[in-house]
């Protein structure tokens, strides 16, 4: 019986690559799976897919009636998953995020580790299962680790990520530092995106102590590319916050080469959001020096501040 494997909505490089890699691994082990994605690949992911001669997975919004059961990678929270997740059996999860809004009727395989990237966990699974990693998939998993850890500079980075990245770069035959800067830069072209696309491209929804919080992240090499559009972005954030009932809408703008962020903040809880970082709102923005990780730095701070 065929199963779909997919990462979260608004997929980043890890969400798409982990689905491709886990689907390959599971098929080698006798499962019948297909990697799909819950959205179009962004420019960074397209750069990696092209470089390693791999087609983007088919995009779906519902898994039924094609399949009855699925495997999740790079997420578990239902509001970040496929629209009909509640009607599906989940047989496997491989993830590196907090576990929330997740439950199943049946026992399942659940592999979670607090490392920098799902593809790091998958690299270890390939090794444990003694399945050879094809060169193209190694290059893609290497790309996912570079993306999630910002070339091993994010505080989410662990020794396991470093080891996995180096092993994968070896298999792929690529200088990961040179390749990584090119790939991260490919993901920072914001001029071609509309205001709405920018606030949505990498956005995730969270329930933080009963608050409906939306957090987007935009990678840049120059803050000004985004901050010069702040008023227009705020107008779009306001529109979406009203239609989706967000208590807080945060757009993190992250300088991927220098590992700093600024955040643009909208909503009833905007002042609390600034206070979470011991800062004040300055023209709807907050400086976040040294902060690059939504998962490890921004979500925990906002969770505390919204108690
Ligand atoms: Mn992800
Ligand atoms: Mn990830």
Q: What is the pLDDT of residues 216-244, one digit of tens each?
A: 999 998 999 999 999 999 999 999 999 99
Cα of 77 vs centre of ligand 1, distance in Å, is 12
> How many contiguous H segments (helices) and E segments (strands) does the chain have?
11, 11
Residues contacting 243, CB < 8 A, separation 6+: none
Cα of 147 vs centre of ligand 2, distance in Å, is 8
Q: Which ligand is nearest to the CA of 80?
A: 1
Cα of 129 vs centre of ligand 2, distance in Å, is 21
Q: In this structure, are residues 196 and 254 in contact, taking their beta carbons and an 8 Å threshold?
A: no
Residue 189's pLDDT is what?
Answer: 85
Q: Which ligand is nearest to the CA of 202?
A: 1
What does the alpha-carbon distance between residue 111 and residue 15 come to, in Å, rounded to a whole number? 15
Closest CA to 18 of 10, 29, 7, 8: 7
Q: Which ligand is nearest to the CA of 119?
A: 2
Cα of 161 vs centre of ligand 2, distance in Å, is 12
Cα of 7 vs centre of ligand 1, distance in Å, is 7
Cα of 152 vs centre of ligand 2, distance in Å, is 13
| Residue ranges near ligand 2 (ion) with Cβ within 5 Å | 14, 74, 118, 148
Residue 271's pLDDT is what?
Answer: 95
Q: Which ligand is nearest to the CA of 16?
A: 1
Cα of 173 vs centre of ligand 2, distance in Å, is 23
Helix, strand, coil shares of the chain, percent, nearest 5, are 40, 20, 40
Q: Which ligand is nearest to the CA of 15?
A: 1
How distant, in Å, are the alpha carbons of 108, 118, 171, 280 from that of 63?
Answer: 18, 22, 33, 44
Q: Which ligand is nearest to the CA of 204?
A: 1
Q: Which ligand is nearest to the CA of 11?
A: 1
Residue 285's pLDDT is what?
Answer: 97
DSSP assignment string, 81-139: S-TTGGGSEEEEEEE-S---S---SS--EEEE--SS-HHHHHHHHHHHTT-PPPHHHHH
Q: In this structure, are residues 238 and 265 in contact, taking their beta carbons and an 8 Å threshold?
A: no
Residues contacting 192, CB < 8 A, separation 6+: none
Cα of 243 vs centre of ligand 2, distance in Å, is 28
Can you list the residues of the chain whose pLDDT is less than 50?
Answer: none
Cα of 180 vs centre of ligand 2, distance in Å, is 16
Residue 201's pLDDT is what?
Answer: 87
Cα of 128 vs centre of ligand 2, distance in Å, is 20
Cα of 141 vs centre of ligand 1, distance in Å, is 12
Q: Spell out the domains of the chain, with CATH numbers in brackets.
A: 2-185 (3.90.1640.10), 195-305 (3.10.310.20)
This prediction's pTM: 0.90
Q: In this structure, are residues 146 and 165 in contact, taking their beta carbons and an 8 Å threshold?
A: yes
């Amino acid at each position: 019986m065929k199963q779909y494997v997919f990462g979260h909505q608004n997929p980043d490089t890890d969400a798409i690559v982990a689905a491709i890699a886990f689907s390959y691994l599971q098929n080698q082990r006798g499962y019948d799976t297909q990697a799909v994605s819950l959205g179009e690949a962004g420019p960074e992911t397209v750069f990696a897919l092209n470089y390693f001669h791999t087609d983007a997975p088919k995009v779906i919004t519902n898994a039924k009636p094609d399949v009855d059961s699925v495997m999740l990678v790079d997420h578990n929270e239902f509001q970040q998953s496929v629209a009909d997740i509640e009607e599906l059996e989940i047989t496997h999860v491989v993830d590196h995020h907090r576990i929330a809004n997740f439950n199943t009727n049946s026992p399942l395989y659940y592999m979670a580790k607090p490392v920098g990237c799902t593809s790091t966990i998958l690299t270890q699974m390939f090794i444990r299962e003694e399945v050879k990693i094809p060169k193209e998939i190694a290059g893609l998993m290497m790309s996912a680790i570079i993306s999630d850890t910002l070339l091993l500079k994010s505080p989410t980075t662990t020794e396991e990520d470093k080891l996995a990245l180096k092993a994968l770069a070896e298999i792929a035959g690529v200088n990961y530092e040179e390749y990584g800067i090119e790939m991260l830069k490919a993901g920072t072209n914001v001029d071609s995106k509309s205001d709405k696309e920018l606030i949505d491209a990498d956005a995730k929804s969270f329930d933080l102590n009963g608050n409906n919080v939306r957090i987007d992240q935009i990678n840049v090499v120059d803050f000004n590319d985004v901050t010069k559009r702040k008023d227009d972005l705020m107008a779009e954030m306001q529109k979406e916050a009203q239609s989706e009932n967000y208590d807080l809408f945060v757009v993190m703008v992250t300088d991927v080469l220098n590992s700093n962020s600024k955040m643009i903040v909208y909503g009833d809880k905007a002042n609390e959001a600034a206070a979470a970082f011991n800062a004040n709102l300055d023209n709807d923005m907050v400086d976040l020096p040294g902060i690059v990780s939504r998962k490890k730095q921004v979500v925990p701070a906002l969770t505390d501040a919204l108690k």
